[in-house]
Structure 1
Amino acid sequence: MSHAQPHAAPPKPTGQTVLVLVLGLAAMVVSMMQTLVVPILSIIQKDLDATTAGVSWVTTATLLSAAVFTPLLGRFGDQHGKKPTLIGVLLVMIAGSVLAATTTSLTWLIVGRIMQGAATAIFPLALSVLREEIRPAKLHGAMALVSGTLAFGSGLALVGAGLLTQGSDPDYHRVFWLAVVLAVVALVGVVLAVPASRAKTGGRTDWLGAGTLALLLVLLLLPISQGHEWGWTSGRTLGSFAGAVVMAGVWVLTELRVKEPMVDMKMFAHRPVLFTNLAGLLLGFAMFAQFIGVSYLVQMPEDVAGYGFGASVLGASVVYLLPTTIVSLLAAQFGGILVRRIGARVTLAAGAAFGVVGFAWLTLAHDTSASVIGAGMVIGLAISFGYASMPALIVASVPAHQTGIANGINSISRSVGSAVASAMITSLLASKTIALPAGMPALPRESQFTLSFAIAGGAFVLVVAVAFLGLRPHHAPRTPSLPAPAPAPERVGAP
């Protein structure tokens, strides 16, 4: 049963601006949790005397946690209010960050990372708040700006982690204290700037659907992220993939039979939503392929490998990757303007076209720093336009009370794409190595980087196809001004 909640008048323009900035900060914190530990994994492994397989769970645990909690909390926010859900998620994330910043146990560090992973739900919740509170004429620009902070947060996390662990005796705990500080600032902002939800659908939580979806995602993402360690043809890997297929069927049957399902299968299979999620998976793949590929490439010692620039971890982050994230942030508002002017479908296609150009450049010419940085900036523009268009496509395709869960599923699709990119690029780079004297670590051949960048460019080609063929004009959602959700109870809960 749906229930409308009385609410004060919409915030004034100044209040809307503050709201967008606060939600942008919260979204930035989300993306930081994904990449914060990447530069410090070797430090953690050394300090905690952990194995390579053991320390890999510091990243895998967050990925799995995000996959499990994002749809559940997105739906919970739709049902019971976005603000209290946002506050609860931030509190959990702060507690996890404090635990990670104070522990010297790998087990408890992984627990802290699981708690940090819940923060991924902040992004779809933020988009739901924007849909309720922002004037229709400004909605797409606001969503684009908040979406753009995701890429910026990833770059900021890399730079911050690199700076905080410089010196002869690096301490990885400082990196997690940075997460604590930013999360506390975001929490204060949410408490002060985010109004109570205008509408709550109410209803019971579909715990069975949430559980089966969680198990499906764990069985899918676990072998993708651990397959390189386990072996791609090992029993664990193949068994997990087989289990994921079985659980996919169980989840669909569960959601079709439950009276109040967590995910409406009609919404999930709705053509614009389905193809937007496919675009999200491809975009997540391409973005992470650029991040991993460039990061490894520029750190290759040219005097040994015959290519690369011998950059440090900090140098790779600041010099080669940060320009990409800055362009993504600056282009976010422009992406919102394009969505209003030419539509989300065309903006998605235009962004993907930039991605094709950027990766073609990177594939053919990655022998100079200027070329790698320039290509990365073009890719950053592509990522920004993709992030700007996908929330607009989702929001224009689903009723207001399904905004949180729909954007949550789209967030998961990007996470799956990123996980696939991480596994594929890592495997590609390890598959063909340069013959070096005994005792020296294996280095990938340059051809493996070229192939990786070409595959990522192919992902953007598929995004162009999705935009023009999967989201054809008579199927694609329109992106003009959206009406504010009606306050009547029967309208708020309408399917």
Structure 2
Amino acid sequence: MVVAVLQTLVVPVLADIGAQLGASTSAVGWVVTANLLAAAVMTPVLGRLGDVHGKRPVLVGILVVVALGSLLAATTSSLVLLVLGRVLQGASFGLFPLGISVLRDELPAEKLTGGMAVVSGTLGVGGGFGLVLTGLLTDGGADYHRIFWLSLGVALAALVLTLAVVPKRRGVGGRMDWLGGLVLGASLVLLLLPLSQGHTWGWASVRTVGSLVLAVALFVGWLALERRTAEPLVSPRMFSHRPVLVTNLAAVCIGMALFISFLGVSTLVQVPTAVAGYGFTASVLQASVVYLLPGALVGVVVAPLGGRLVRRTGARVALALAAAIAAVGYLSLALLHSLTWQVVVGAVIVNIGVTVAYGAFPALLVAEVSPGETGSANSVNSIARSVGSAVASAVVVTLLASNLTSTGVPRESVFTLAFALGTVVCLLAAGLATFGLPRDLRRPTAAEQDEEEATALAGEWGTVSGLAR
């Protein structure tokens, strides 16, 4: 939940931050870009540190850094220091792979799938709640610092819970591959930076093309380096073993799907009807509460049900079905978005599919990697989702900025195209799951399924009722 909230918290108020700090739109964009770049660099390193030295101390360290970053962002009126605070908050992305590793260490086999589905589902659910909370706290152009005080409270609450609940366990030991982390981090920065700045630099500019080419070259060099390293940061097998590779490619697609929904829906409903002839003239608060909150609330219930679906059908089938459901939601949005209920229903369907898909990814990875690689494998999957989010953000922002009417608002056809793109990437994820992943070698019998669900369902719904409260 910390990861998801921090990722989306600032998105709706970038214009307000710029106005209150007297900064340009391109300068304020670094509030998002710096966080994304820091996450790309730190996530694989933090995942490996957790595998080597134990999850609890690394979780505690991450939450302390995130809390310091939140405190800095909440108390400064300098854009430079705000960006630095967001860099520190980028460490939060390491919480998810370490959280999955903790589940694998602590939960019995019959509860592991459901537990991973609940935790993974909060990535989609928390993103929606982050947008809603931002709308509530900054309604009417209120001081943007409020959202960072909120993030500080969330980080401290998570820190207290981690110290109280997560047990101490020794890691698998070994050495850290710092050189591999440096090269991988550099390649990810060179990939994500032009994706986030391409609409400003120009997609055909030397900086954009050169960064992308250099990113590919560094990544190839990193793979060669890791093959010659006795204890690599990330095993090259993660990029050559077909089930893991396909799972990560599907994660790129689902990461795109999540951000297309956030950006597309929130921007569409805020378009002034009187000026554009479409849209709903919604405020940030209305966009969050009326159009995005229903999907987040439905996601709270869907997350544990997704765990049951994974156990019943297998993670491969669950991922394919979830991606197909999200595709239906996007197709609905592309065709029908003139009435409030049409947008809400379409967004809810997309969120259902994304939530279940997120729950399937850890199950697919855990089945293919050793316990000592769980943190690293889920770190790579987190990066894949981040790359998808960055690509989606770049595409949607470019579409919106380059297709304006004479009144300065985006053309309605841009939103139709964005939602059609969402349909395509979801269908691609469904195809990857269906044809790229191996069929489950063994399905549990009906009696085994009933026994698993009898022991796991109470715990899952206890989690849901706790979230609801």
What's 2:101 paired with? 128
How many residue pairs match? The answer is: 445
The residue correspondences of 1:99-178 to structure 2 (distance < 5 A) are 99-167=72-140, 170-178=142-150
Offset, 1:39: 1.9
CA offsets, 1:185-229, max 9 Å, x none?
1100000000112x5221111011000000000000000001011
| Distance (Å, rounded) in 2 between the aligned partners of 1:367 and 1:211 | 48
Residue 53 of structure 1 aligns to which amino acid in structure 2?
S
1:208 aligned to 169, 172, 179, which one? 179
Q: Is the 1:396–1:477 contact (alpha carbons within 8 Å) kept by the matching residues of 2?
A: no
1:366 and 2:337 aligned: yes
What's 2:266 paired with? 295
Q: 1:478 to 1:413 in 2, by over 3 A?
A: farther
CA offsets, 1:52-84, max 9 Å, x none?
111100000010111111110001000000000
**Structure with the higher helix share, 1 or 2:** 2
CA offsets, 1:108-158, max 9 Å, x none?
110100000111100000000000101110111011111111122112211
| Distance (Å, rounded) in 2 between the aligned partners of 1:175 and 1:153 | 14
CA offsets, 1:341-389, max 9 Å, x none?
1100000011111111111111111110000101111111101110111
1:35 and 2:35 aligned: no
Q: 1:479 to 1:278 in 2, by over 3 A?
A: farther
What's 1:259 paired with? 230
Residue 417 of structure 1 aligns to which amino acid in structure 2?
G
| Distance (Å, rounded) in 1 between the aligned partners of 2:96 and 2:162 | 13
TM-score normalized with structure 1 length: 0.88
Q: 1:184 to 1:267 in 2, by over 3 A?
A: same
2:424 aligned to 431, 439, 458, which one? 458
CA offsets, 1:439-474, max 9 Å, x none?
xxx11111111011001100011011101110131x
Offset, 1:431: 2.2
Q: Which runs of 5+ in 1 are unaligned?
A: 1-27, 437-441, 482-495
What's 2:315 paired with? 344
Offset, 1:478: 6.3
SS at match of 2:347: helix
The residue correspondences of 1:75-474 to structure 2 (distance < 5 A) are 75-167=48-140, 170-197=142-169, 199-436=170-407, 442-473=408-439
| Distance (Å, rounded) in 1 between the aligned partners of 2:220 and 2:246 | 20
| Distance (Å, rounded) in 2 between the aligned partners of 1:340 and 1:157 | 29
State the identity as a percent.
Answer: 53
Q: Is the 2:97–2:375 contact (alpha carbons within 8 Å) kept by the matching residues of 1?
A: yes
RMSD: 1.3
Q: Is the 1:392–1:479 contact (alpha carbons within 8 Å) kept by the matching residues of 2?
A: no
Q: Is the 1:208–1:254 contact (alpha carbons within 8 Å) kept by the matching residues of 2?
A: no
SS at match of 2:29: helix
| Distance (Å, rounded) in 2 between the aligned partners of 1:150 and 1:285 | 13
Residue 105 of structure 2 aligns to which amino acid in structure 1?
E
Query: After the TM superposition, which segments of 4 or more aligned residues of structure 1 sit over 6 Å from their partners?
Result: 477-481
Q: 1:422 to 1:237 in 2, by over 3 A?
A: same
SS at match of 1:99: helix
What's 2:454 paired with? none
| Distance (Å, rounded) in 1 between the aligned partners of 2:328 and 2:16 | 36
Offset, 1:287: 1.0
CA offsets, 1:399-419, max 9 Å, x none?
000000000000010000000
What's 2:464 paired with? none
Q: Is the 1:343–1:478 contact (alpha carbons within 8 Å) kept by the matching residues of 2?
A: no
| Distance (Å, rounded) in 1 between the aligned partners of 2:130 and 2:331 | 27
TM-score normalized with structure 2 length: 0.93
Residue 86 of structure 1 aligns to which amino acid in structure 2?
L
Residue 51 of structure 2 aligns to which amino acid in structure 1?
D
| Distance (Å, rounded) in 2 between the aligned partners of 1:102 and 1:478 | 55
| Distance (Å, rounded) in 2 between the aligned partners of 1:342 and 1:380 | 20
Q: 1:234 to 1:478 in 2, by over 3 A?
A: farther
| Distance (Å, rounded) in 2 between the aligned partners of 1:152 and 1:48 | 30
What's 1:48 paired with? 21
Residue 138 of structure 1 aligns to which amino acid in structure 2?
K
What's 1:7 paired with? none
Residue 295 of structure 1 aligns to which amino acid in structure 2?
S
| Distance (Å, rounded) in 1 between the aligned partners of 2:133 and 2:282 | 17
Offset, 1:477: 7.3
Q: Is the 2:41–2:185 contact (alpha carbons within 8 Å) kept by the matching residues of 1?
A: yes
| Distance (Å, rounded) in 2 between the aligned partners of 1:472 and 1:396 | 11
Offset, 1:257: 1.2
Offset, 1:261: 0.5
| Distance (Å, rounded) in 1 between the aligned partners of 2:360 and 2:275 | 43
Offset, 1:326: 1.6
Offset, 1:479: 7.8
Q: Is the 2:201–2:208 contact (alpha carbons within 8 Å) kept by the matching residues of 1?
A: yes
| Distance (Å, rounded) in 2 between the aligned partners of 1:479 and 1:399 | 21
Residue 276 of structure 1 aligns to which amino acid in structure 2?
T
1:57 and 2:30 aligned: yes
Bigger Cα displacement from structure 2, 212-221 vs 376-385: 376-385
Q: Which runs of 5+ in 2 are unaligned?
A: 449-469
What's 2:456 paired with? none
Q: 1:164 to 1:249 in 2, by over 3 A?
A: same
| Distance (Å, rounded) in 1 between the aligned partners of 2:375 and 2:434 | 26
